[in-house]
Structure 1
Amino acid sequence: MGRLTIKQKIIAYSGTIIVGVIILCGLIIYLVNKNQDVLIHNRARVLMSNSIYEANQGDYRSLEEYSYLVINLSGDVIHSNQKKDLEQSPIDMKTITGNSYGSQKNENYVYSAPVLENELQTGTIFVQIPYEKLIEKPYYLIGIMLAVGMILLITILHFIRFLNQDILVPIHQVHLSTKKIRQGNLLERVQYDYDGEIGTLCHDFEGLRDELAYSIQNEKRLKEKEKLLLAYISHDLRTPIATISGYVEGIHTGLVKGERVQEYTSIILKKVIMLNGLIDDILEHSKAQLYEFDIQKVECYSKEFFTSIVEESREDVRKKGLEFKCTEIPNVLLSIDQKRIRQVLQNLVGNAMKFTNKGTITILFRYEDGKLIIAVHDTGIGIPATDQAMIFEAFYRGEKARTLNVSGSGLGLSIAKYIVSQHGGRIFCDSILNEGTTLEFYIPVA
């Protein structure tokens, strides 16, 4: 036999409590009835105490409402309010049932007490007291027990209803929802409007469901990105490796001689540098995904730091035959990882150069609301609106990049976004197709 459910346990415990209360009430009634004789005598003694005292003083008026008689030690009737008792004097003691504690006779209780004179007993007083004056039916006790029983029953029923609706029902819903999740259905939600701990439990469960759904969707996206990564890396590796292989084979076989050897080795070196950059991007992205990206911040002034990067970028842009512009650099104190921020800005300039064949590349600096804002603007091919929301995703390369056969892993902007976020900033994109693109990020000032 399996273990009882919570509902079965509640019913069993409630039934046990009700039966226990009924047994307790019955026991109380039994004990009350068992001691009835003692209670009657005690009530009679209390009721007659003043009357017996007055009778010992010779005043029998307070006894007139009862049948009583007073006899001496010889059995002679000294006083009585019943004529038959006076006629039977001396009275036969056997006709009186009772002793010094009183007794029952017909519908009356015969209470007896000594007649004292100078602290010596000279006779006995017998008083017949109707039972109705002495016996208090325990109706009040029964009423109290019934009231307590009803309150207890209502409380238990209300408690069972509370447990069922506010605990068992939501737990059952969570159980059913868990089964559906295991079957792959993440859309069926727990309907709840409970306060307190159960409401918090349902809320947390729904939070876990949302996180699980997000994780599954994210896993699907990652798998898609992995497929794209393999495709892109295969393409990007195949081209330079094929070039390197061809040039090396030409040198090795002796087909290339003289000055052309230096030309070939120069091309091979460029392709090797390109491959190293691709591998570095993949390693950087892996570190970011595993939260092992090393950020080491130091304080520096922005003007001195960014001036060297701007000059390097100026030379690279001019070598491609493009115009280069840069605004004044505000001189503010920053707390940054210089290597990583340099990497971000160089990546943005490099992207601008890839997609700009003519025109201008501009680096803009401005200080605003405690932030240093840096933007790289180009007059290149621009980014379609459908691609702008995705360009910071890992391995994503827009349709234009694939069409124009632009090299790259699709990881640069994803890594840049991670670096900027680790500095407490954000990165944005604003682009108009065939007119140009602006990539902007900000860093909080120290």
Structure 2
Amino acid sequence: MSIRSKLAWTFILLLIFGITSISSYSILFIRDYLLEEGRVEMERDTRWLAVTASSLADDDEFEKRLLETARTSGYQLAVYDSTGHLLNTFASGDTLIPMSQSLPAGIMESVNNRNNLPLLPQNPGSEVLTSYVALNQPVAGAKYLQASQFKDEIYEPIKTIRWIIYYGMFISIGLVVVVSIWMARYLTKPITQIKDAAQDIADGDVDREINIKRSDEFGTLATSVNQMASKLRADTEQIKEFAEKQRQFFADITHEIRNPLHTISGALDMLGLDKLSEEKKSKYIATAKKQTERISHLFKDLKTLQRYDSDEYFVERQEFDLADIARHIQDWYADKAKEKGLELNIADHTCKVVGDPGKIEQVLDNLISNALKYTNEGSVDMTYKKEENQVLISVKDTGIGISDEHLNRLFDRFYRTDKARSRDKGGTGLGLAVVKSIIKGHGSDIHVESTIGEGTRFWFYLPKA
């Protein structure tokens, strides 16, 4: 059974029970009220009947006048002598109420002790309401007067009231059924909407939204489900993007390894020729060695990236002097810059920072190496200076520059602005990705600005020692 049916039946049964209980209580209350009012009225009428009977003449017309009195009052009257023996009965209608042939001694005693006040015994199980009274003075041998009436005559008005209550109850039950069904549908509609939406989201429809504009708990739940769907949608897009990058990563790494292996294989085939000159042998050996070094650098970069992704101790911080790294850079690239006719300006003043000296040296090595590759004239500058509690480290060149369309993806793994030319220069496509990973591991970030034909500048910050 659905929640809607359960709610509808619950409302219907509870309200029907409530209406039935109230109606039954109302009928019982009205019966008791009418009976009590009938007793009060009968007590008053009995006193009047006693006075009337006492004032009748003691002659042959006594019974005739008492019969007329019974018909006028609407009660069935009976008279008893002083010993409690029944003398005669006077009926007001066609239906006779059975009368006792003699009054019980207890009744006579109670009546005598009431000083001419009526006695109305409580008989809950009896269908007749009875009243006894002693006459002021005996008339025609009559000492006691009994007035009787069927309780149904007292309850007569309740028959109409009962049907009014029943009609009202049936109408109320009908309204309750309609209102309960409507209320159940109103309460369960948002639950159904949320359930359907959650099922659609579970089936993969992360674009599904619930349009429930309510300020109650259902509205809050709908908003939470929408937020969950939005988060799931964002996560799905991120997973798709990651999967695409991963697919591209494997395609790139396969391509990166295949090319040098193909070159090495070709060089080895040539070296196997019998009549190969020494000059060509040296050339093919150098080519194979160069491609081997390229593969070695590739796996070295991949190892660095893998450590960044999984090793929380990727960066081992300590205090060191940037001047030591500057001198190494100068020694490594001075000759290369001279060969290309470039001016290499490396700052070498003392400046102590906190970080991993080996990895910061790897970062600057990558940045200087790239700057020299893509600069054909002018200069390559590496500077660092203190700014409050940080040190700004910058590498700037006057090379070919990078267009704006490539800047956002410049640090992606295996991304190249010019794939053919980058491979010709021996790059792995991972250098800047490694740079970004190392700087991120230091809690900082790498920044870049570039202008086509004017040059490029990379910079990042390290904490001052």
- Normalised to the residue count of structure 1, the TM-score between the two structures is 0.69
Structure 1, unaligned runs of 5 or more: 53-62
In the alignment, what sits opposite 2:436?
Answer: 417
Q: Say whether the 8 Å CA contact 2:447–2:460 is kept in structure 1.
A: yes
Match of 1:231 among 234, 244, 255: 255
Match of 1:207 among 221, 231, 236: 231
Shift of 1:253: 10
Residue deviations 1:234-279 (CA, integer Å, cap 9, x gap):
2244446756x489879x999759xx99999998776654432222
Shift of 1:394: 0.5
Q: Aligned equivalents of 2:420 and 2:210: distance in 1?
A: 47
Look up the equivalent residue of 2:221 and give its one-letter code. E
1:69 alignment partner, SS class: helix
In the alignment, what sits opposite 2:299?
Answer: 279
1:440 alignment partner, SS class: strand
Residue deviations 1:140-197 (CA, integer Å, cap 9, x gap):
7986996698578536523422321x2212432444465564xxxx7x5435355311
Any residues of structure 2 matched to 1:102-181 within 5 Å, and which?
111-115=129-133, 123=144, 126=147, 131=154, 135=158, 137=161, 150=175, 154=179, 157-164=182-189, 166-176=190-200, 179=203, 181=205
Match of 1:222 among 243, 246, 261: 246
In the alignment, what sits opposite 1:337?
Answer: 356
Q: Say whether the 8 Å CA contact 2:16–2:176 is kept in structure 1.
A: no
Which protein is bigger by CA-based radius of gyration? Answer: 2
Q: Aligned equivalents of 1:168 and 1:222: distance in 2?
A: 40
State percent identity of aligned pairs: 19
Quote the RMSD (CA, aligned, Å). Answer: 4.9
Any residues of structure 2 matched to 1:8-47 within 5 Å, and which?
9-11=3-5, 13-15=7-9, 17-19=11-13, 21-22=15-16, 25-26=19-20, 29=23, 40-45=34-39, 47=40
Question: Relative to structure 1, is the Cα distance of residues 240 and 367 closer, same or farther in structure 2, using a 3 angstrom cutoff?
Answer: farther
Q: Aligned equivalents of 1:43 and 1:273: distance in 2?
A: 118
In the alignment, what sits opposite 2:322?
Answer: 306
Look up the equivalent residue of 1:291 and give its one-letter code. S
In the alignment, what sits opposite 1:318?
Answer: 334
Q: Say whether the 8 Å CA contact 1:325–1:362 is kept in structure 2.
A: yes
Shift of 1:14: 0.9
Question: Relative to structure 1, is the Cα distance of residues 433 and 79 closer, same or farther in structure 2, using a 3 angstrom cutoff?
Answer: farther
Question: Relative to structure 1, is the Cα distance of residues 204 and 329 closer, same or farther in structure 2, using a 3 angstrom cutoff?
Answer: farther
Residue deviations 1:2-40 (CA, integer Å, cap 9, x gap):
xx5x4xx41354146425643664466457657976664
Q: Aligned equivalents of 1:160 and 1:330: distance in 2?
A: 78
Shift of 1:414: 1.0
Q: Say whether the 8 Å CA contact 2:8–2:180 is kept in structure 1.
A: no
Q: Aligned equivalents of 1:111 and 1:212: distance in 2?
A: 86
Match of 2:88 among 84, 89, 92: 92
Q: Aligned equivalents of 1:103 and 1:249: distance in 2?
A: 129
Any residues of structure 2 matched to 1:348-363 within 5 Å, and which?
348-363=367-382
Instruction: Answer with 16-25 or 319-328: which moved more.
Output: 16-25
Shift of 1:343: 2.1
1:365 and 2:390 correspond: no
- Normalised to the residue count of structure 2, the TM-score between the two structures is 0.67
Q: Aligned equivalents of 2:275 and 2:134: distance in 1?
A: 152
Shift of 1:354: 2.1
Question: Relative to structure 1, is the Cα distance of residues 68 and 372 closer, same or farther in structure 2, using a 3 angstrom cutoff?
Answer: farther
2:49 alignment partner, SS class: strand
Look up the equivalent residue of 1:131 and give its one-letter code. I
Which structure has more relative contact order (CA 8 Å, sep 6+)? It is 2
Structure 2, unaligned runs of 5 or more: 57-64, 72-76, 80-86, 99-119, 136-142, 214-218
Look up the equivalent residue of 2:228 and give its one-letter code. D
Question: Relative to structure 1, is the Cα distance of residues 347 and 317 closer, same or farther in structure 2, using a 3 angstrom cutoff?
Answer: same
Q: Say whether the 8 Å CA contact 1:67–1:82 is kept in structure 2.
A: no
Look up the equivalent residue of 2:298 and give its one-letter code. L
Look up the equivalent residue of 1:275 and give its one-letter code. I
In the alignment, what sits opposite 2:447?
Answer: 428
